Every structure is written in structure tokens, then in C-alpha cells.
Structure 1
Amino acid sequence: MRFNHINVFVLLWLFTACNNTVGVSDVRQSDVTIDRDTENTQSKATEPSLPTMEHLDPKAKVVLSVLGVMQDGGRPHLGCQKSCCAADSIQSDVDYRVVSLGLFDREHTKGFMIEATPDFVAQWRTFKGIFSEVTLNTLGGIFLTHAHIGHYLGLSFLGKEAYNAKSTPVYAMPRMTDFLKNNGPWSQLVTHENIELRPTKANDTVQLTKNLSIIPLVVPHRDEYSETVGYQIIGPEKSAVFIPDIDKWDRWDQSILCLIKLADYAFLDATFYDGQELPNRDMSSVPHPFIVESLELFDVLETSDRNKVYFIHFNHTNPVLDKDSEAAKRVKRAGFNIAKQGQLFSL
């Protein structure tokens, strides 16, 4: 779908229609069924190789890049003695970086990052390696989702002890903005003008360039220091939804099914595969939608809508990180995708 100003308004109207519709009555039952006993499906998801710039439409004006896919603690995880973090289980050619997206408007040579993770330096090098035109001095801004460690600690590298940035725009919701402004060491970034805080509002469109806009979506999560948002990302041709953290889909006053249908890509919280990953911890204290729960909820979606979903934000224990695991195979058999660092998407 090509997005002009009229289409953006239509999209916003449709997005409003997703509010307060947590149920599934608005989505027709899929013709594709999953046999939950055998986990066989008529929908077979292929696993394409990671796209490069050469594989993208040369006319694509906006490109989204996946800069990281992991939960805040990364992988290997501090203190983990399990096989998932053993040296022989970590692929030598894969960096398991914390979840982040990059956005680049090729027409206006403007770059943006979503999240400032502990892996910010490596992710910036990757971003710069893909889009050589972007520089830290001309970075259009960094969007933050919330105040948990994997999502904002990377701002520290913009301080005088490191890069000593000059007024890098940081987009954040009101509580997140106040948190950064009133608590060190983040407040020093503000007083030294390393960052320029740009408050955002829920459901308000932030127009970044003629080709690119972002809408914050408030979601329920553990909001100790800030509210939590996901983002709707609107390019000139396609749109994406990014929700790396949410408690449970049924605790939200919006329909994730509706948002998936409206978007072209949906990067969604998949922290845990099921409730068995942390046997020594109360899983209710760290609520997230288990992948198995999402598979059941998303069962009503058409194959074309399932193919839009890219699970992301994986805990180090999540078995889907092993592409040969039964968990990963089940996700792909059902028609969904597992996000991979390095993927590129045209918007």
C-alpha cells in the first residue's frame, strides 16, 4: 500500500478502531488450521536468507533494519550456567544483541534508531555499515520504549566520557522524559546538551520526514520508572508495528489481531516460549505473552497475516533461538517468523 497523507489519516482511523477490541470477533476464522496435537499445519513457512541492500527494491525510500533481537540481558546471560549460554551453543557468527531497530530514509538521508541498548556502540557500527550516509552528528533521533535496562542504557555512550554528542534528539513519553531529566547520570546528558529530549504523546503522530512517521502506542507493562510504549512505524509504502515488551495481549485495551492486519510487518514480544523456562522464578513477576499463547491467539489469522509476524525480544533461555529446535520449527510451520539480526525491510 502506498502511503500518502490521505492514507495516513485512513490508517489512523483504522488504528482507532482497534481500540477496546481485545477479542477476535473482527477477524474471520482462518482457512489454515493448526493441529495442536501433531503441530502439523497446511501453512509452511519458508526461511529466507537474510536480505541485503541488493535484495531490496532500489526505489524503496525507507528501510527498516533489525539491529538486535534479544531481551535486556542478552546472550550469554550474566550468571547463566545452562546449556543455552555455554560456549558450544553460541553460534560463532552470530552476535546476540539486545532488541533494537534502525530506520533510514534514503531520499532524505536521515537515520533513526529505536532503543538505546547496552549494545548501542556495536549496533551503531552495524547501522552505519548499512547506511554509510548517516552520521552520529546527523542522526535524526533515538526513540525509547521504556526505562528497563535493555532499552535506554546505551544513551550513556553519548555523554562526555564517550562520544560527547551534540544535542542528539531523544524521543520519549512524559514519564520517561522526566526520568531522564531528573535522575543522574542521564540528567547530565541533558544539562551538557548531549541529548535533546523531545516528549511524545500516546497515539500522536511524530512526522520525522516526508516519508516517515511514528506513532507511540502505550502498552501495559511493569512501569516502575516510566510508561511503556510500542511504535507504529509508517513509511511511504508500508507500515510496521514494534512491541518488544507487553505484559499479556489480553491486558491491552487494543486488539493485537487488528494491528497485525493493518500492518505489513509486526515485530512482537516473544520473550519466553512458555512458562517452563525459569523454573526457579515466579513467572508472574515478569509477565510477557508466551509464544505458545500468541500462537493460539493468532490461530484465527489468515496465512498472509501470520506471515507478517516476526517474533522478537528473546530471553536467553528461549528455545526458538536454536533454529533446529522443535519450538522454532513449530513457529515456522504455523506460518510465523523468528526475527534475526541483520534483516532489512522496505517501508
Structure 2
Amino acid sequence: MRITILGSAAGGGFPQWNCNCRNCAGVRGGTVRAKPRTQSSIFVRADAGVDGILFNASPDILEQIRARPALQPGRKVRDTAIAGVVLVDGQVDHATGLLMLRERGSPLPIWCTEAVAADLRQGLPLFEVLRHYCGVESHGVSPDGPGFELPGVPGIVLRALALAGKAAPYSPHRQQGTPGDNIAVVIADRQRGTSAFYAPGLMEISPPVFDAMCTADAVLVDGTFWTDDEMIRLGLSRHRARDIGHLALSGNGGMLDWLARLPSPTRRFLIHVNNTNPILDEDSPERAALAAAGVTVCEDGMEIVL
């Protein structure tokens, strides 16, 4: 199984278009050693496969496809290696890229929970817009339900896990969460017997979620903020990380504490990194702390083979 990191940043990308925080201004001016990143998305295919699964459709999807020739195999006049799309939530940075795939010659196969589908029919009606173009072939995903496969991607088995988190701001249940607003996905290669745990938005780690992390060969988890009050301290928001559905990396009970408890062979990756997070600075003490802990910060174009 091959996991290609198409985008590794949180919403807004890095540098963010209107941001002049130390990271964004520094990467533009060359005073901070950091790599620009597009918004979070991954592509998964079997070793011998051409077609694969797009997890989340970032607003940057066209740039990501152009940068990764494997997604455009060129077998016919119009072609794509994207057999289907799996959405872990209905957030802008994970769903609006669907509109960029509207030229598809047949309905776009999308797998998501009913809660997310409802938001994308009403709060942010992307499904209705796509009906006027390629159309949508919607498939339900049951949180904590049985495993499932996507047609055209044999041997890759997916299983969704319910997460505590926040629905998108335009969701009618933003303040009263409903099961399926946010999911993690266990991605398993049936032939090799390997698996990855993928959760770019993760606010709370329940026992079933941690069990799934412990049994995976690699975990790709929420690396949005270094501290819970990061945006408040920078004067950019009144909300803590937890208020918007993210578990901070540092601090007692933070993501790094949980990653340290995983079995030693587990490969640990951070994805969905916000532009303010000091780990983007490759010379920062926070980045050095990750290296010492065996934790890798995802970069666009990185490929993980399991």
C-alpha cells in the first residue's frame, strides 16, 4: 500500500494568503527554513494498482493533481486515477475541492457519513451544485461499522471510527455534535496485512480510537496546533484548539503524550498542520523535540509505503 501526502497543511495552507505570523512572513522572506504546504489530503493505492482513493478533496486539489503525475495516468483522452473520494468530515478545507472535479464524465463516487452528507446537501450544498455537472454517487459510511472497499481499488479495506469533534461552522449541529460529524479511518492492505490510522482532525482519543492507533503500522494524526492557546496568544482568535475540534500537540495529555504510548514499531506522522505551528520551522526547538520522539511532520509529496 502506498500513501501519498497530497497536502499536509490545515485550512488556509502554508503560508496562508493573508497571514504575516512569524512562520508565514518568514517562509516568504527566507528567514524561516520551512516548506510551503497545500491543504490536507492523501491518496492511497495498492502497490500494484493505478487507481486509488482520495481522502478529502482540498481546495488545492488541482495543484496537487498537477504535482503528482500518478493521479493522471493518461490511459485515455480524459482520465483520472481517483476511483472515489472518502470524506472524514464536511469542513471547507476537506470538501470544497469536490467542485474542482466537476468535469468527471460520470457521477463522482463519494463515501461519507450521513451527518456529513446532510451538511453537504444543506449547509454547504456542494452535492446540489455538482448535480448540474457530473453528479454525485453518494455512499454511506457507518461510524464504528463494518469494513468496506471501493470498487476499482481491490485489496484496500476501510473502517470508520467515530470521533468526538466539531461539525463545520455551517452545520446545524455545530454546537450539538452528532455521531458521524468527524471520523477516523483505518486503511488496511489485505494482501500485505499492514494498516494505517488516519485522523487529520482529532480532539479526543477514546479507548476504541487508541486501540485502533496501537494496532496500526502507521498513524497519521492531527498536528494542527502546538499549544491549546496558540491562536489566542498570537491574537488571531478567541478560541482554543479544543474549541474548534483539535487536540494540541504539547502539554499534559496532548497528542505527543498519546503518541509516546504507542508500540515502538509504530510509525508516527503529523498532518493538517496550521500555519502558526512552530513545528513548521525546521530549526525550531519544537521540531527538534518531534525528531527526538520519532515523530515526522508530513510534507506535500511524501510517500509512505506499508
Fold shared by both chains (TM-score > 0.5): yes
Cα gap change, 1:294 to 1:181, in 2 (>3 Å): closer
| Distance in 1, Cα, partners of 2:72 & 2:129 | 30
- Give the CA deviation at 1:132: 3.0
- Give the CA deviation at 1:210: 3.0
2:297 is aligned with 1:297: no
Q: Which stretches in structure 2 are left out of the alignment for 5+ residues?
A: 172-179
- Give the CA deviation at 1:344: 1.3
Secondary structure at 1:154's aligned position in 2? helix
TM-score (norm 1): 0.73
- Give the CA deviation at 1:175: 1.6
Please name the residue that 1:266 is paired with. 219
Native 8 Å contact 1:219 1:228 kept in 2: yes
Please name the residue that 1:322 is paired with. 281
Please name the residue that 1:155 is paired with. 98
TM-score (norm 2): 0.82
Aligned CA RMSD, in angstroms, stands at 2.5
| Distance in 2, Cα, partners of 1:92 & 1:130 | 29
Cα gap change, 1:302 to 1:264, in 2 (>3 Å): closer
The structure whose Rg is larger is: 1
Q: 1:307-332 deviations in whole A, cap 9, x for unaligned? A: x1101110100111111110010011
1:1-347 alignment to 2 at 5 Å? Answer: 62-86=1-25, 87-89=28-30, 94-129=35-70, 132=73, 136-137=79-80, 139-159=82-102, 163-182=103-122, 184-190=125-131, 192-202=133-143, 203-208=145-150, 209-224=153-168, 225=171, 227-235=181-189, 236-237=191-192, 238-249=194-205, 252=206, 254-256=208-210, 258-278=211-231, 279=233, 280=235, 281-283=238-240, 284-292=242-250, 293-305=254-266, 308-347=267-306
Partner AA of 1:331 in structure 2? L
Secondary structure at 2:146's aligned position in 1? coil
- Give the CA deviation at 1:90: 8.1
Native 8 Å contact 1:270 1:291 kept in 2: yes
Native 8 Å contact 2:110 2:137 kept in 1: yes
Which protein has the bigger helix share? Answer: 1
Native 8 Å contact 1:269 1:311 kept in 2: yes
| Distance in 2, Cα, partners of 1:184 & 1:122 | 23
| Distance in 1, Cα, partners of 2:70 & 2:49 | 18
Q: 1:89-115 deviations in whole A, cap 9, x for unaligned? A: 588994411111101235343222100
| Distance in 1, Cα, partners of 2:115 & 2:248 | 28
Cα gap change, 1:185 to 1:147, in 2 (>3 Å): closer
**Does 1 or 2 have the higher relative contact order (CA < 8 Å, sep 6+)?**
1
- Give the CA deviation at 1:345: 2.1
Q: Which stretches in structure 1 are left out of the alignment for 5+ residues?
A: 1-61
Cα gap change, 1:137 to 1:79, in 2 (>3 Å): closer
| Distance in 2, Cα, partners of 1:267 & 1:166 | 31
Q: How many percent identity over aligned positions?
A: 20
Cα gap change, 1:345 to 1:81, in 2 (>3 Å): closer
